[in-house]
Chains A and B, each alone.
Chain A
């Protein structure tokens, strides 16, 4: 990896625009016509044709915050790899992360500011940055002066670091309290449960790498949960990274995920009872004497009711299995229990996760290698960011919009129209908002409702910083830098906010004096640096900045982490226990449980516009370009359903039509539909393809966290008699006795 210098970078970027743009913005408002110099005429120092340069920055394709290195040749980004010094990705990357190039060079990017006359239509007119910002600025400014700033709302996706701070400050200065985040994938329930269990809602570090026995309740840690790349690497180590010691994994979930496929044992407990299963295991841990804490008696009485026989009857997992797993869990040196996925998406999500957390306590692995290690909330120098509000926050916003309390809605990097159930009525509520402004790189279902679209730079063209969440057990902050000059007449979102602040005037530009996001971040890092490093440090800031920029990350391995977790006390368990999730729709009318699941390719749908991901066979089914509904072969047989039969899946909240796929590793009585497809407007690769199961999810909620209980909807299935070809790469998925997976019988 070649070294880069800050000066080179600026010069290089300057040729295309960011540095220049910053200056012009400051001096002459936002008038900015990109004048692309031909860089070769006076080549910047690090520009030599034929020689690749690598820049470190941060992946923005999910909220794990992996550090990435981007290979640049002749000013173009060619390849994204993991940043080897970054503690989250450790040089590796997932499929989504690598497809970041498809974001940057996506043919459907929004290239200029746009204005839309009629909402929902694809017809837009180009408008200059000047006009757009003046119009919007004056509108917002008037509300502020009128004392109606509370009618201005800012909704973003998961945002961390200084961008979060900038948003908060902007709204604050306007006088609106309504800056909020919505991200379908944000584990609100997990954070709430951890608050209950460990006394902090900062996501802890789950030390899978050093665990001997990993018991996962629904958490697809190899595909979509929290930090897939980091945990995949950890999984590799758990399996084969230690001499003579191979960790074991058990996965509890109704439909086999990637993590279930990797597990030694896959248990399809009755949906909604996963927390109860954890309580049953806890019961055995305590009753068998495996747990030896002083408060053993209290635990014993709190868990009294959850005998293996009772739990077995409810969960439909055999008593033997419950006892055996409990014994193995108790006996292992480093056993670790985690929860996510459907377990964390029932109406009892927090209760279930608390029960799982209790296992970690009972096995005595809190704060130990191979166990749960707390992260401190405080890192240098950016904050971890506000936590997105779950469904409750979205409902509040919808209510406000419906009541006509919202006059201006700014939306950035989130697509609630797609990733909220239809029942929530987000789109309809948006009709009540007089002015909607989208800060976005792509036309999606939410952007298509906006009156103004301010095109943003992609993350590969932007400055930023980030605190990975969950952290890695010690303080880490990553730095993002533009790796190529902006392709189009777009701006970094931070710069747009700063320009708006200048447009609005008043105290805003005084408190937000920075010309650009870059300046803002650097300023803040400098402040923080001066504050922290004042004594005994002779390193000057520029050198520090330079080093962080080159490394792409700053961290303090070995620095004190979040301390010893408070252990969840037995009374909490007793008080919170809510063993079985409730479901929308009753069993007789709606005999199936709908299991929507995040896919490693599209996540909550945001990856669907990337052609590499559309063409990436789904890991478990090999399907590409479309949606499917998974059914157990026996169930399918009984209903006379074959692969490709179009099913109508109807919930109390709506219905979708999707071709059937016979999937051998799903519990009978469950129908699984991947999330991600079903976009109506998200560019050529995503639009009009497949279905979005979130739309028919009933709006049940986990009471304690306010998170959407997306795994708590029942459905009925009818075979429409139509057929649709499922495009997949797999031929026959049995080895036919051929020794493909190794000598001996094929699976060991």
Chain B
């Protein structure tokens, strides 16, 4: 019996360790964020997001894995603006994942909502199911005006028409950090060793990224901030992004 329980446990938790090592998490402090959009360009550069052109932009065919949403409150002169960077929340209970018929999007043991372009057949169900509207579809095969293609990041694949894409938490950077850790005989990467492009660029340091399985990680501490909240909490998607509410003095 005990071996059976053992087997069952093993089956329900495959992987190298009893407990998975990582749960990648991001915090975004809206009291720091100024809406400057440096993160938007950083993601575009890092992840080979296409330049779609004015016509396609006008048709809402833009591709931005991270975007800044704006919300006004009040009327002139007592008017306030609230910015919120919106990217894939890497939901632990991700609606997009159950929707995909071919497992092109699934949860990995690091807590990432991964997107396998090769596998995607382009049903777009995941995008319909995602409450945060952070999934972007390749309506066309995009090309770069020569020689702009020279700036493409060789660590990230360029997508073709008909596949869905979205924020990967810069999985390529996670992979590099893990490789380095492995080379150094470390079991886990150090706190701060993985810095996604958007987090790296943010001039106000509004964003923080790390492993929330590590109680000592900065991000774990930041998550406990009393201003912390998750967007659309009532939908029970359990996002991996914790926002820190803007303070109103």
A95 touches B246 (CB 8 A): no
Chain A residue total in the interface (Cβ 8 A): 87
> Could you tell me if B248 and A747 are in contact, using CB atoms closer than 8 angstroms?
yes
**Listed stretches B13-21, B108-116, B226-234; interface member:** B226-234
* Of B70, B151, B227, the contact of A620 (CB 8 Å cutoff): B70
Query: Any chain B CB within 8 A of the CB of A240?
Result: yes
- CB-based nearest B residue for A668: B76
- Shortest CB-to-CB span from A247 to chain B, Å, is 9
Q: How far is the CB of B10 from chain A (nearest CB, A)?
A: 36
Q: Contact check, A742 vs B227: say whether CB atoms are below 8 A apart.
A: yes
Q: Cβ of A742 and Cβ of B203 under 8 Å apart?
A: no
The answer to whether the Cβ of A743 comes within 8 Å of any Cβ in the partner chain is yes
> CB of B77 within 8 A of chain A?
yes
B190 to chain A, nearest CB (A): 15
Q: Does B5 make an interface contact (CB < 8 A)? A: no
- Asked if B58 and A78 make an inter-chain contact with CB atoms under 8 angstroms apart, the answer reads no
Within 8 A of A (CB), among B126-159: 145-148, 150-154
Question: From residue A21, how far is it (CB to closest CB) to chain B in Å?
Answer: 20
Chain A proximity of B63: nearest CB distance (Å) = 9
A614: B residues at CB distance < 8 A: 54
Q: A residues within 8 A CB of B35?
A: 258, 261-262, 619-620
Bitwise interface map of B from 14 to 44 toward A, beta carbon under 8 Å scored 1, else 0? 0000000000000001111011111011101
Q: Is the interface of A mostly helix, strand, loop or mixed?
A: loop
Kindly state the separation between the CA atoms of A301 and B57 in the bound complex, as whole angstroms: 59
A740→B231 contact, CB < 8 A: yes
Asked if residues B74 and A747 are in contact (CB atoms below 8 Å), the reply is yes
A6 CB within 8 Å of chain B? no
| B73 and A233 within 8 A (CB) | no
Task: Tell me, yes or no, whether A77 is within 8 Å of chain B by CB.
Answer: yes
Within 8 A of B (CB), among A218-261: 222-223, 228-229, 232-233, 235-236, 239-241, 246, 248, 256, 258-259, 261
Contact A617 B245 (CB under 8 A): no
B1 at the interface (CB under 8 A from A): no
Q: Does A427 contact B (CB under 8 A)?
A: no
* A590-613 vs B, Cβ < 8 Å mask (1 yes, 0 no): 000000000010000000000111
> Do A741 and B71 form a contact, CB below 8 Å, given A79-B45, A619-B36?
yes
Given known A-B contacts A73-B154, A93-B201, A616 and B41 have beta carbons under 8 A apart: yes
Specify which of A106, A258, A626, A633 lies most central, judged by the most chain B CB atoms within 10 Å of its CB: A258
Contact A742/B229 with A81-B200, A258-B34, A619-B68 known, Cβ cut-off 8 Å: yes
Whether the pair B62, A615 counts as a contact (CB closer than 8 A) is yes
Q: Check if B197 is an interface residue, CB within 8 A of chain A.
A: yes
Question: Which residue of A616, A665, A740 is within 8 Å of B40 (Cβ)?
Answer: A616
Residue interface bits A102-125, CB-to-B below 8 A is 1, else 0: 101111000000000000000000
Is residue B4 contacting chain A, with contact meaning CB distance below 8 A?
no
Please tell me if B51 contacts chain A, counting CB pairs below 8 Å: yes
Instruction: Please name the residue on chain A nearest to B59 by beta carbon.
Output: A727
CB distance from A333 to the nearest CB of B (A): 16
Determine, out of B79-87, B94-102, B210-218, the stretch whose residues face the partner at the interface: B79-87
* 8 Å CB contact of B77 from A259, A268, A735: A268
CB-CB under 8 A for A740 and B71, given A232-B34, A747-B82: yes
CB of A748 within 8 A of CB of B247, answer yes
Chain A 716-748 per-residue mask, 1 if CB under 8 angstroms from chain B, else 0: 000000000101011001110011111110111
Collect the chain B residues with CB atoms within 8 Å of residue A746's CB.
71, 73, 82
Q: Check if A310 is an interface residue, CB within 8 A of chain B.
A: no
Residues of chain A within 8 A of B41, CB atoms compared: 95, 98-99, 612-613, 616
| Binary contact readout B171-189 vs A (1 if CB under 8 angstroms, 0 otherwise) | 0000000000000000000
- Once the chains are docked, how many angstroms separate the CA of A98 from the CA of B203? 12
Chain B residues touching A, range: 35 or more
Determine the distance from Cα of A324 to Cα of B40 in the docked complex, in whole angstroms: 38
Task: Please state if A622 and B45 are interface contacts (CB–CB under 8 Å).
Answer: no
Nearest chain A CB to B61 CB, angstrom units: 11
Give A104 to B38 CA distance when docked, in angstroms: 19
Write the nearest CB–CB distance from A55 to chain B, whole angstroms.
Answer: 15
Indicate which residue in B58, B145, B146, B203 contacts A232 across the interface (CB closer than 8 Å).
B203
CB nearest to A621 among chain B residues: B70
Decide: A92 and B57 in contact? CB cutoff 8 A. Answer: no
- Closest Cβ–Cβ distance, residue B65 to chain A (whole Å): 13
Chain B residues within 8 Å of A624, by CB:
54, 57, 62
A668 to B145, CA, bound (A): 43
Are A617 and B68 closer than 8 Å at their CB atoms? yes
Question: A633–B72 Cα gap in the complex (Å)?
Answer: 13
Q: Confirm or deny: B75 has a beta carbon within 8 angstroms of a beta carbon on chain A.
A: yes
- Quick one: given A105-B147, A233-B204, A741-B71, are A95 and B45 in contact (CB under 8 Å)? no
Residues of A within 8 A of B245 (CB): 741-744, 748
What B residues does A259 contact at CB under 8 A? 34
Nearest residue, chain A, Cβ from B204: A236
B120 at the interface (CB under 8 A from A): no
Q: For the complex, give the distance between the alpha carbons of A633 and B73 in Å.
A: 14
When distances are taken between beta carbons in the complex, the residues of chain B under 8 Å from A633 are 75-76
Complex partner residue of B79 from A99, A664, A684, CB under 8 angstroms: A664
Complex Cα gap A493–B187 (Å)? 51
Find residues 623-641 in chain A having any chain B CB closer than 8 Å to their own CB: 624-626, 632-634
Is B67's CB under 8 angstroms from A729's CB? yes
With an 8 A cutoff between CB atoms, is B69 at the interface?
yes
A743 (CB) vs chain B CBs: closest residue: B229
- From B57, B76, B77, B202, A625 is in contact (CB under 8 Å) with B57
For residue A115, give the distance in angstroms from its CB to the closest CB of chain B: 24
> Does A82 sit within 8 A of B, measured CB to CB?
yes
Question: Least Cβ distance of B27 to chain A in Å?
Answer: 11
Evaluate contact between A76 and B76: CB separation under 8 angstroms: no
Which residues of chain A from 698 to 730 have a CB within 8 Å of any chain B CB?
Answer: 725, 727, 729-730
Contacts of A613 in B (CB 8 A): 41
B46 — which chain A residues lie within 8 A by C-beta?
Answer: 79
Residues of A near B74 (CB, < 8 A) are 747
- A107-B197 contact given A240-B32, A740-B84, A747-B82, CB 8 Å threshold: no
A101 contacts B by Cβ under 8 Å: yes
List residues of chain B with CB within 8 A of the CB of A239. Answer: 31-32, 204, 247
Q: Is A530 interfacial (CB 8 A cutoff)?
A: no
Closest to A73 in B: B154
The answer to whether B203 touches A78 (Cβ under 8 A) is: no
CB A351 to nearest CB in B, in angstroms, measures: 26
Given contacts A80-B45, A246-B247, contact A101 B203 (CB under 8 A): no
A77 → chain B closest CB, angstroms: 6
Complex CA distance for A354 and B100, rounded to whole angstroms: 63
Alpha-carbon distance A268/B42, docked complex (angstroms)? 33
- Chain A residues contacting B82 (CB-CB under 8 Å) are 735, 741, 746-747
| B57 contacts A727, C-beta separation under 8 Å | yes
User: When the two chains form their complex, are residues B151 and A78 in contact, meaning their CB atoms are under 8 A apart?
Assistant: yes
A551 at the interface (CB under 8 A from B): no
Q: Which of A107, A256, A600 contacts B146 (CB 8 A)?
A: A107
Docked Cα-Cα span, A634 to B79, in Å, equals: 14
In Å, the complex CA distance between A91 and B81 comes to 27
Bound-state Cα–Cα, A621 to B80, Å = 14
A-B contact pairs, 21 of them (CB 8 A): A79-B45, A82-B201, A95-B36, A95-B41, A102-B148, A235-B204, A239-B32, A239-B247, A261-B34, A266-B79, A619-B35, A619-B36, A619-B83, A632-B76, A727-B54, A727-B58, A729-B62, A740-B71, A741-B71, A742-B246, A748-B247
Top 9 closest pairs, chain A to chain B, by CB? A748-B248, A742-B245, A236-B204, A232-B203, A261-B81, A747-B73, A107-B145, A625-B54, A92-B203
* Interfacial residues, chain A to chain B (CB-CB below 8 A): 50, 73-74, 76-82, 91-95, 98-99, 101-102, 104-107, 222-223, 228-229, 232-233, 235-236, 239-241, 246, 248, 256, 258-259, 261-262, 264, 266-268, 487, 600, 611-617, 619-620, 622, 624-626, 632-634, 664-668, 684, 689, 725, 727, 729-730, 733-735, 738-744, 746-748
Can you name 12 extra interface pairs (CB under 8 A) apart from A665-B76, A733-B71?
A50-B154, A76-B150, A95-B40, A107-B145, A232-B34, A233-B205, A615-B51, A625-B54, A727-B57, A738-B232, A740-B232, A747-B73
